[in-house]
Amino acid sequence: MTTRIPAIDGWFTTAGEPALLGTRCDSCGSYFFPPERMLCRNPACGSTDLAEHELGRRGKVWSFSINHYAAPAPYVGKEPFEPYTVVAVELGAEQMVVLGQLAEGFDPATLKIGDEVEVVIEPLFTDDEGNEHIVWKWRPVR
Amino acid sequence: MSRDVAVLGVGMHPWGKWGQPFVEYGVKAAQDALADAGIAWRDVEFIAGGETIRNGYAGYVAGATFAQALGWTGVPVATCYAACAAGATAIDIARSRILAGLCEVALVVGADTTPKGFLAPTWADNAADPDWRRFRLLGATNPTYFALYARRRMELFGATEEDFANVKVKNARHGINNPNARYRKEYTVDEVVASPMVSDPLRLLQICATSDGGAAVVLSSMDFAKQHGVADPVRVAAVSTVTPTYPNTVIEMPNFSTDSAATVAQPELGFRDAIAAAAYEQAGVGPDDLDVAEVYDLSSALELDWYENIGLCKAGEAERLIRDGDTTIGGRIPVNPSGGLACFGEAVPAQAIAQVCELVWQLRGQADGRQVEDAKVGLSINQGLFGHGSSVIVVR
């Protein structure tokens, strides 16, 4: 049986609705992704009270890049290689841009800046023991 | 009180893919800079080295490595790492020592030997390293980020693939006569837009390579220069090493996100604008005073961003500058007369020093085959990973 392992711990939900996990400062309200747990990075604040916060699930494409060559390790690409797309997404409430790969099954040629996308949890790669490593990706809403 | 320091000498080892230890390039550049200055190594009172992280321990302690290779003299040393900004930071340390009166003459050296292909994380399996994480989780190479900016320009300002190609064509033409450049070949727009797509919308000939090379400068106090018989040296009038101001709302390598602007208003100037603004303020000059600039064209598209960041034009007008030939030698404000990274490729800890070498040759009228007429004020600019500003203004 395939085991699903988060490719990184604590950055996204692994049950229920897919969502990115960030933090929000209890004192000034600033948002952080990846989750900042040490200190609020607003230099006018500096509070240590940071609470977990599920980032908005939908956003708009700020820009994207279609990679035609495999990145070096530790990236694990498809065999044989397939071009893959990295999307930068603007989140409305958090007013921040978050990167992620484009979800499986979407032709990046049809993607445009300003398109609405939503976060999904999908396989990133399968390791030699057959474990499926999962990660967040952005899926166009159509 | 003047905060200028004199540039007594500059030197470079040609850029290429030579495959030799980085120390050789650094020593050659240092010896050339010392000879250019008319200073003996044993008379240098401080050495600053730009660190290279891809050449083992000798690279981590580059300043001492160069000092050892040149022959131990007991000279005080510093080594600094600031990614692409390492050279400017090393220059700033040397300049600060001189301005503090702790030494009269200092040598700054950077050199690198680079592996083939994409720059990759240096730690094989360290999941806590943000650089490791962006490769693992996203496959986000450096050109991936350059491509995000490039597509943004196309969307916001109507930049075209031909505009980006024209930057490469211009820089290739500039660099053809530069003996230190690695690529000395003219290109046409058609050749550039027919080169392989790497990170769409950027093609191979629009992305800078990684190179071997070395660069060095000899700096001194203005008094020392005078006593040394140099009445009118090129002077370093500013070194800007600023970091971003929160919230930084442009996605930067190797980050997964920008800062949030939800609760704190964006600063008046974005990070790249702020790097230039700090340099201009220190030097007491503005964009209209510039005669020549060396900007970090990691991609051809990024050179257009820099035009706006250093105030050559307003946001959205950079395409007009390249179309009108304003930034070509002979135009209103030549940019990258050296050929830029398009002709050099990047030798990380040497590159910001190499930018200064070129400006010094330009201001001395020694840039044979690529001379900008009557250049008196030059600016170099770039940015190191994670938020290291790097800009130097030289005047004569």
What tens digit of pLDDT does each residue of A107-140 get?
A: 999 999 999 999 999 999 999 999 999 999 999 9
Could A33 and B197 be called an inter-chain contact, meaning their C-beta atoms sit closer than 8 Å?
A: no
Dist CA A87 CA A97 (whole Å): 10
Residues of chain B positioned with their CB less than 8 A from the CB of A135: 137
Query: CA-CA distance, B348 to B84, in Å (whole number)?
Result: 5
Is residue B201 domain-shared with residue B299, that is, in the same domain?
yes
Calculate the alpha carbon distances from A125 to A94, B202, B324 in Å: 29, 26, 48
B199 near A67, Cβ under 8 Å? yes
Q: Is residue B244 part of a domain?
A: yes
Average pLDDT, 10 consecutive residues per value, chain B (396 residues): 90 97 98 98 98 94 98 98 95 98 98 86 79 95 97 98 98 98 98 98 97 98 97 97 97 96 95 98 98 98 98 98 98 98 97 98 98 98 92 98
Do residue B148 and residue B228 come from a single domain? Answer: no
Contact A113 B258 (CB under 8 A): no
- Across the interface, of B121, B155, B246, the residue whose CB is closest to A43 is B246
Same domain, B201 and B226: no
Chain B residues 221-250 within an 8 A CB cutoff of chain A = 246-247, 249
* C-beta of residue B44 within 8 angstroms of C-beta of residue B30: no
Structure tokens at B295: 């900007």
Residues B149 and B165 in one domain: yes
Structure tokens at B15: 């850029």
User: What is residue B1's predicted lDDT score, i.e. its pLDDT?
Assistant: 52
B336 domain residue, yes or no: yes
Residue B151 pLDDT: 98
Number of domains in chain A: 1
Q: How confident is the model at residue A2 (pLDDT cuts 50, 70, 90)?
A: confident
Reduced to 3 states, what is the DSSP secondary structure of residue B162? helix
Question: Which residue among A66, A72, A76 places its CB closest to the CB of B120?
Answer: A72
What range defines the domain where residue B20 resides? 5-117+212-234
| Residue B79 shares a structural domain with residue B159 | no
Closest residue to A68, CB basis, from B198, B251, B257: B198
Note whether B162 and B19 are same-domain residues.
Answer: no
What is the C-alpha separation between B270 and B293, in angstroms, rounded? 20
Residue located via tokens 């191979």: B204
Residue A41 lies inside a defined structural domain of this protein: no
For residues A9 and B28, what is the distance between their CA atoms, to the nearest angstrom?
Answer: 48
- The answer to whether residue B123 sits within a structural domain is no
Mutate to test the interface with B, among A20, A64, A67 (most CBs of B within 10 A): A67
Least Cα separation, residue B98 to chain A (angstroms)? 32
Residue B120 forms contact with A (CB below 8 Å)? yes
Residue A28 resides in a domain: no
Within a domain: residue B122? no
Question: Does A96 sit within 8 Å of B257, measured CB to CB?
Answer: yes
Structural domain includes residue A72? yes
Q: Which residues, 6+ apart, have CB-to-CB distance to A134 below 8 Å?
A: A4, A5, A6, A7, A14, A121, A122, A123, A124
* B135 → closest Cβ in A65, A72, A93: A72
Percent of chain A with pLDDT over 90: 94
Residue of chain A nearest B149, judged by CA positions: A63
Q: Which residue of A has its CA nearest to B198?
A: A68
Long-range (24+ apart) CB contacts under 8 A made by A119-127 are A119/A12, A119/A18, A119/A19, A119/A20, A119/A55, A119/A57, A119/A58, A120/A18, A121/A12, A121/A13, A121/A14, A121/A18, A124/A7, A124/A76, A124/B137, A125/A7, A125/A76, A125/A77, A126/A2
Question: Looking at the domain assignment, is residue A76 inside a domain?
Answer: yes
Q: What is the pLDDT of residues A9-66, one digit of tens each?
A: 999 999 999 999 999 999 999 999 999 999 999 999 999 999 999 999 999 999 999 9
Q: Is B262 on the interface with A (CB under 8 A)?
A: yes
**Helices marked H in chain B:** 22-37, 56-60, 62-70, 86-99, 130-138, 142-157, 161-175, 189-193, 222-227, 271-283, 300-309, 318-324, 340-344, 348-364
Check: pTM over 0.95? Answer yes or no.
yes
Please judge whether B139 and A71 are an interchain contact, meaning their C-beta atoms are less than 8 angstroms apart. Answer: yes
Domain that holds residue A91: 56-140
CATH of the domain at B90: 3.40.47.10
Residue A92 maps to which CATH number?
2.40.50
Total count of domains within chain B: 2
- Both structure tokens of B331: 């135009």
Contact B264 A77 (CB under 8 A): no
Asked, for residue A22, whether it belongs to a domain, the answer is no
Q: Is residue A46 part of a domain?
A: no
> Are residue B230 and residue B241 in the same domain, yes or no?
no
Q: Are residues B136 and B74 in the same domain?
A: no
A96–B249 CB contact, under 8 Å: yes
Considering only CB atoms, A98 lies closest to which of B200, B202, B257, namely B257
Say yes or no for a CB contact (<8 Å) between B139 and A94.
no
Q: Contact A86/B139, CB-based, under 8 Å?
A: yes
How far apart (Å, rounded) are the C-alpha atoms in residues B166 and B205? 11
- Residue numbers in B near A30 (CB within 8 A): 247, 259-260, 262-264
Q: Is residue A103 part of a domain?
A: yes
Residue B124 resides in a domain = no
| One domain for residues B149 and B40 | no
SS3 assignment, position B264: coil
Say which of A76, A86, A95 has its CB closest to residue B261: A95
In chain A, residues with a C-beta closer than 8 Å to the C-beta of B134 are 99
B333: phi then psi, degrees, rounded to nearest 5: -145, 90
Q: Is B18 on the interface with A (CB under 8 A)?
A: no
- Flag whether A18 is in a domain: no
Q: Three-class SS of residue A131?
A: coil
B172 in the same domain as B108: no
Say whether A65 and B257 touch across the interface (CB within 8 A): no
Residue B54 touches partner A, C-beta closer than 8 Å: no
Mark whether B184 and B100 lie in a shared domain. no
Give the model's pLDDT for residue B124: 67
User: Are residues B47 and B180 both part of a single domain?
Assistant: no
ipTM value for the complex: 0.97
